[in-house]
Amino acid sequence: MKWLSTTAAIAGLLSQVAYGAPRFQQRHNSTAWAAQEWDAIVVGAGTAGIIVADRLSEAGKKTLLLELGGPSYGITGGTEKPAWLNGTELSRVDVPGLYKSIFNGGTDLVCPSDVVNAFQACTVGGNSAINAGLYFQPPASDWDDYHPEGWKSADVKDATQRLLNTQPSVTTYSLDGKYYMQTGYEEAKKWLVDAAGFSDVSFNEEPDNKDKVFGRPVYNYINGQRGGPTRTYLQSALARSNFRLQTGARVRHINHIRGVASSVTVEIEGSSIKIPLSSDGRVVLSAGAISSPGLLMHSGIGPLETLSNISTAGLISNNSSSWVVNPLVGEGLFDNPNTFIELSAPTIQSYVQDYNNPIPADRDLYLSTRSGPYAFASQTSAFWAYMPNPDGTRAGVQGTIDSSGYGAYGNNHTITLNIYGTSGLGSAGRVVLSQDGSFIPGPSPGIYYADPRDADNIAKFIYSIFQALPSSTPESLAADGLTPLNLPQNSTVEEIRTYITTPSAYAVGAVQHWSSSCRIGKCVDADTKVMGTKNIHVVDASIISPLTVNPQFGIMIAAEKGAERILGTWNSGIGISL
């Protein structure tokens, strides 16, 4: 979950890196690597790119991983941190309880405005370095219902197991075994389980059960610190002589003739250089669901009108005879439509993780034992359901409950429910380029609730769970149980629909779960190769359809499976020449 902003500053800590691995080194001094030929050039050291690069190098391929941004975690040399982390080897990224502070600005972890028109990470680890770390396994139905042959649940079973073997999920976050900030969890459980009839489940034990289920969140933490591919896959890759991570490298375009790539053009330290592929090499874009399609377009691969516009501005290096016209590049871009519902109860004790001035006891507890409120990202519970459609399809709805209020609702007895639509929604847009002459990629307008049925389903769901709350109004709070403050408990379906579709601080906000802009079977084939090309692949959130759960786990599965599929294509030579 990504908060649009926070009501207060957020907190952080850590003393020593608890995960043993080779120290990350920035490599800027020599450019000899740039003249070498590479079997694989992976663009983007994020959630997917790190995994792909690790698996390709593990298989013996000489692999270059390029990242625009710089260090993030302490283990990568990241130094952004509050004063109370001084003297430690940890950065703000390492501390789960500090993640919301990143969205307040003042950080080098996110992409500059001239790179992408969205809030995305440009740093080692990508969005896995700035998100909450929620790590829910997608149900089998996500693969079986929304993905093509070769990517069904049975096909990704081994990839899922490889992922879990490398990055286990955890449901106990604080290393002292205790759960903190639980008043909101207890009230939510009383509402959804006791009154609304949801099942209280362990999401790890029942990953395929996502209909009327409630439970504690699942995270990807390692020993009380943020996990993710930087802490796992990247460390094994860095130990290999055939792997290189280069930060501070901005890929401008892929050099190709009619889809046969020979090199990539990169800006680094003020210079533009071409990095060549080997004779049977591959380019893999893992820059994210907005930037990867944008990079394809800037390389002369995409919708004809878009390529013509860029060419007219003189920003495509190859001529039109070398273009690959693929109208589905960028098509289907998805983000979860979300609504914040502020909830109050007499029993609630809100908790805001403070970035600069944590409660001393909580600070010391985390620093000494990786325990307490800073050992997790503040989501105390989650729940799912499906809403059936008359045509037999269904729409997924997810909720997560945070430990504090939001916006104007900062009372000590307030918590926030973030509720959004997930799989099966009809609303989507596409990646478009800005019209200011810079051609920066971003989302098209009107993505959220483009299909009216999505708003109907989400409104009906909110209405249904509100019926299990005690009668109340924002002016007359329930004496026992939760009271919705910004959306009254007695609202009609139509009133709820109007509220969730009207932009405000609490509705129609970007969750930044961008995905599905270069889908398997449409924009790329089952081997993740861009349609119309010979050796250009996309492996990141772009290729997966909208999932029932937070996308991180599914993106990592896609990276494992995508690397497997790419390695399977290496048997036949491509014969690259320019």
**8 A C-beta contact, residue 112 and residue 267:** no
Q: Identify the pLDDT of residue 1.
A: 35
**pTM of the predicted protein model:** 0.94
Q: Residue 27's closest CA among 248, 179, 355? A: 248
Render pLDDT for 249-272 as a digit per residue (tens, 0 to 9): 999 999 999 999 999 999 999 999
How many Å apart are CA 245 and CA 445, to the nearest integer?
35
Render pLDDT for 169-217 as a digit per residue (tens, 0 to 9): 999 999 999 999 999 999 999 999 999 999 999 999 999 999 999 999 9
Residue 79: band (very low, low, confident or very high) from pLDDT cuts 50, 70, 90:
very high
The torsion angle over the Cα atoms of residues 227, 230, 233 and 239, rounded to 10 degrees, is -130
Residue 318: band (very low, low, confident or very high) from pLDDT cuts 50, 70, 90:
confident
Average pLDDT value for residue range 320-345: 97
Render pLDDT for 20-73 as a digit per residue (tens, 0 to 9): 233 344 444 467 899 999 999 999 999 999 999 999 999 999 999 999 999 999
Q: Identify the pLDDT of residue 574.
A: 52
How many Å apart are CA 546 and CA 515, to the nearest integer?
7
Average pLDDT value for residue range 87-108: 93
- Residue 577 scores a pLDDT above 90: no
Q: Identify the pLDDT of residue 317.
A: 80
Residue 7: band (very low, low, confident or very high) from pLDDT cuts 50, 70, 90:
very low
* Burial environment of residue 67 by CB neighbours within 10 A (0 to 12, 13 to 18, 19 or more): buried
Residue 573: band (very low, low, confident or very high) from pLDDT cuts 50, 70, 90:
low
Structure tokens belonging to residue 288: 């994210």
Structure tokens belonging to residue 59: 């298989």
Residues 244-282, buried b or exposed e (16+ Cβ, 10 A)? bbbbbbbbebbbbbebbbbbbbbebeeeeeebbbbebbb
Q: Identify the pLDDT of residue 232.
A: 98
Average pLDDT along the chain: 93
Helix (H, G, I), strand (E, B) or coil at 281: strand
Average pLDDT value for residue range 494-520: 96
Average pLDDT value for residue range 481-495: 98
Render pLDDT for 324-334 as a digit per residue (tens, 0 to 9): 999 999 999 99
How many Å apart are CA 459 and CA 311, to the nearest integer?
44
Q: Identify the pLDDT of residue 104.
A: 84
Q: Identify the pLDDT of residue 148.
A: 98
| Location of structure tokens 């307490």 | 372
How many Å apart are CA 286 and CA 58, to the nearest integer?
18
Average pLDDT value for residue range 138-162: 98
Residue 512: band (very low, low, confident or very high) from pLDDT cuts 50, 70, 90:
very high
Q: Identify the pLDDT of residue 5.
A: 31
307's enclosing H/E stretch is helix 304-312
Render pLDDT for 430-473 as a digit per residue (tens, 0 to 9): 999 999 999 999 999 999 999 999 999 999 999 999 999 999 99
Average pLDDT value for residue range 278-283: 96
